[in-house]
Amino acid sequence: MLLLTNGQMLNEEGTLITTDILVKADKIAKIGKGIKAADAKVIELAGKLVTPGLIDVHVHLREPGGEHKETIATGTAAAARGGYTLIAAMPNTSPVPDSTENLKVVLDKIKEDAVVRVIPYGSITANLKGEHLNDFSTLASDVFAFTDDGRGIQEAGMMYHAMIEAAKVNKPIVAHCEDDSLLFGGYLHDGSYAKQHNHKGILSASESIHIARDAILAKAAAAQYHVCHVSTKESVSIIRWAKAEGINITAEVSPHHLLLADKDIVTEEIANFKMNPPLRDEADRLACLEGILDGTIDIIATDHAPHTAEEKAWPIDEAPFGIVGLETAFPLMYTHFVKNGNWSLKFLVDRMTTIPAKIFNLPYGRLEVGAPADIAVFDLDSTYQIDVEKCLSKGKNTPFNGYEVSGETVMTVVNGEIVYSTL
């Protein structure tokens, strides 16, 4: 048994209340003041914030096949350090989880090495090539959802049939929205920075055109459809329209698209500002902020994408897209939006716990008696500088190194077991 005493927990009204939490085996057994349990391991929280374990629906763990960038062991250790208790692993691995045999390789490695809950995605198409639809019925019971993330489904008919098949097995389609015919070799946003520095730009339309197409297809197929890493004002407008039309559409935004625009790129560290979708105009950033505030965008997801320092040192047109985020997401969001008074603490916590659980029909994201004992504890008064050399992820590729933040994770509990603690 585990007894957490004198923590601060959010109630339904968003008020912090002092409470104890008793964990028995893998469940929350009691919540309240003055809990006694003679045989429990007691941990004094001294007013620190206790939340449901964070949920990230968009993580690249790289293994199998990309172990030089990240492994399931290092990626889930990073997740635990960030307060995450459940992450959904994207399918751009080798092998791709596009068959029961290949999925078993991933599941076996997760069982062996993961320290937090990991549910893999199944790919929409064989080997992520966008040519042949997978047999969703054989994969559905063991996957989070279906996606070819990192590659947009280029052919509308393929996406429509994917949505039809996903609906049959009651799984969402999760989409990286990008029309390859509109890329023109771009690698940064087609905005002021790219023009001033003579870089090839990625049009905003390459994202929004796919979202518009897919929203219409989702309505036709009666499918559940989720948009990855929204980054443009046009995309926000389209999702807002689709929701008003009653289409079953949800969306995520990543911390970097809420915090940064292309004007913030530091030329000397440019590869750590290269991600896909790219950092857009300031107007796009503000539209994403408006979108999450009014409910158009539902949740926050990191798009954790580790790469080696050697890869990120390549010329900017060749360096891989992506930054890491599992260990920095909560403190960055708390510091820049809650601590300064723009968001309530409950608003942030819900979008990293309760709402993703509800969207994807997961039995997590709750601090309730009888719920799974997945718990995160944060010290909101702890102020520190992000230091990539202290990160547990293999990837050190982030534009946020050196940022001063508050809201440090001090404990993560998964299934009743402490998997990370500095207490």
Q: Look up 303 and say whether it is catalytic.
A: yes
Q: Which amino acid, one-letter code, is at 401?
A: N
84: closest CA among 387, 420, 422, 391? 420
Residue 6, sorted as left (phi over 0), alpha (psi -120 to 50) or beta, turns out to be left
244: closest CA among 313, 187, 294? 294
Residue carrying the six token digits 């635990």: 80
Compute the Cα dihedral for 317, 285, 59, 313 and give only its sign.
positive
Residue carrying the six token digits 């990286």: 176
Catalytic choice (303, 350, 374, 379): 303
CA 93 to centroid of chain Cα atoms: 17
Residue 150 near residue 92, CB atoms below 8 Å: yes
Give the number of other CB atoms < 10 A from CB of residue 317.
Answer: 12
What whole-number distance in Å separates Cα of residue 50 and Cα of residue 28? Answer: 13
What whole-number distance in Å separates Cα of residue 229 and Cα of residue 256? Answer: 10
Residues making up the chain, counted from first to last: 423
Torsion angle of the four alpha carbons 337, 338, 341, 343, in this order, in degrees rounded to the nearest 10: 80
Coil, helix or strand at residue 375: strand
- Residues tagged active-site: 303
